[in-house]
Amino acid sequence: MLRHRKEFITIDDLTNYKRPRVKLHVQGIVLRDEVPGALIKTKTQHVCHAGEFLVAEIDAKVGGFGIVPESLAGSIVSSHYFLFVIDESKLDRRFLDFFIRTPTFREQVTAQGSTNYAAIRPTHVLGYEISLPPLAEQRRVVARIEALAAQIHEARTLRHQAVEETEALVANQIKALFERGQESGWRTVPLGDHVVDACYGSSVKTHDDSSGTPVLRMGNIQNGRLDLRNLKYLHIAEKDRAKLVLKPGDIVVNRTNSAELVGKCAVFDEEPDFAYASYLIRLRMDLDKADPRLVASFINSPAGRAYMFSERKQMTGQANVNATKLKALPIALPSILEQRRIVAELDALQAEVDALKRLQAGTAAELDALLPAILDRAFKGELQYEHHESWTFEQS
């Protein structure tokens, strides 16, 4: 079904060349880069043709293979990649593209060669076996798989939209809450009137040694919450602990980075002995006047985000916000007792949203498992071909 094509060209220094990247786990072949020939050290290269089967010598055992797409026709690869021409009078390339995603094929790839040498040779590829029906049957199998895959994609899209809508639900509730509050006479003052201390974090170099104090960085603030994965550590001098160690209720704000992250914040609600890095601002609130969770909700809200970028047209280079601008943020708050009641309501709403998102994540995992199950059934000859309005899949 395949013929190993071993044709090479000599790279021209004055010509630009596309170079593909073969994604692992049979995730496809994409554009890696486009570079002038003068920057390519190895001057003898393969030229890829659309529709060929491309196999990475070293990465094949972890799914480093695929069909060359039309967009990468004419791209080049080194001698560490093998190109195979498909005899399409016998083998539909789409049939092969689905077959290489099955456990049956992957098991053949991993079985070749020794455990000490992971590379695949062209003779290995040519020796793999495929259960091959007539061409017309191949095309019928492909059409059925594509139809079912399209339904899975549609379901996955709907799940993604549902997640986005649930995430927007709380934000819209907060927006409406503050709008109603202003209309009902909540007093608007600069945020600084409720701040007892604002401070920038430590610029001391961090390390992976967990014997030090864990330090929050920009990446630890995600969607208004703390993400305590991938922590770094630092050693804090005793004289700096009052300044750099966070207390429960402190608000930590990203002060620089991309426009998507700058100004985003979260409330520190962990046990003490966490520090924070220099790209964060720590706001310590007067707890008799302002509930930090409600303040953080406003900072992350559309109104807070709009304020952060109100002077964006005058900014150059990397987006940033400083403590002065943060403390000048106009914010309207009710009494502290009313704030706590509102926070309790928002917490209950967030809990419902989180439960819904967990359910959606579970159905997303089921969808991810559907296509491999379909492929397994297809190449065992177990797919149905009758025309139905809808199809269901049951676990065995």
One domain, residues 28 and 123: yes
One domain, residues 203 and 297: yes
Short-list 61, 54, 55, 63, CA closest to 118 = 61
In a domain, 235, yes or no: yes
Q: In whole angstroms, give the CA distance from residue 103 to residue 26.
A: 11
Residue 248 belongs to a domain with what CATH number? Answer: 3.90.220.20
Of the residues 333, 358, 380, the one at which a domain ends: 333
Q: How many CB atoms lie within 10 A of CB 46?
A: 21
One domain, residues 199 and 62: no
pLDDT score, position 168: 80
Q: Where on the phi/psi map is residue 387: left (φ > 0), alpha (ψ -120 to 50), or beta? A: beta
| Contact of 322 with 200, CB cutoff 8 Å | no
In a domain, 68, yes or no: yes
Instruction: List all residues 6 or more positions away from 57 whose beta carbon is below 8 Å from its beta carbon.
Output: 80, 81, 82, 119, 120, 121
One domain, residues 124 and 208: no
Burial of 326 (0-12, 13-18, 19+ CB in 10 A): buried
pLDDT score, position 376: 83
Domain count across the chain:
2
One domain, residues 228 and 115: no
Residues (pLDDT < 50) of the chain are 115, 313-316, 386-396
One domain, residues 206 and 310: yes
One domain, residues 119 and 193: no
Of the residues 296, 313, 333, the one at which a domain ends: 333
Residue type, 52: E
Size (the chain), residues = 396
Note the pLDDT tens digit of each residue in 264-291.
899 999 887 899 999 999 999 999 999 9
Of the residues 132, 148, 167, the one at which a domain ends: 132
Domain coverage including residue 230: 187-333
pLDDT score, position 305: 84
Q: In whole angstroms, give the CA distance from residue 153 to residue 106.
A: 24
Rg (CA), the chain: 29
pLDDT score, position 317: 52
In a domain, 105, yes or no: yes
pLDDT score, position 318: 58
Short-list 364, 389, 377, CA closest to 145 = 377
| Contact of 329 with 309, CB cutoff 8 Å | no
Q: Cα torsion at 95, 98, 99, 101 (round to 10°)?
A: 170
Note the pLDDT tens digit of each residue in 85-129.
999 999 999 999 999 999 889 999 988 655 455 688 999 999 999
In a domain, 375, yes or no: no
pLDDT score, position 47: 96
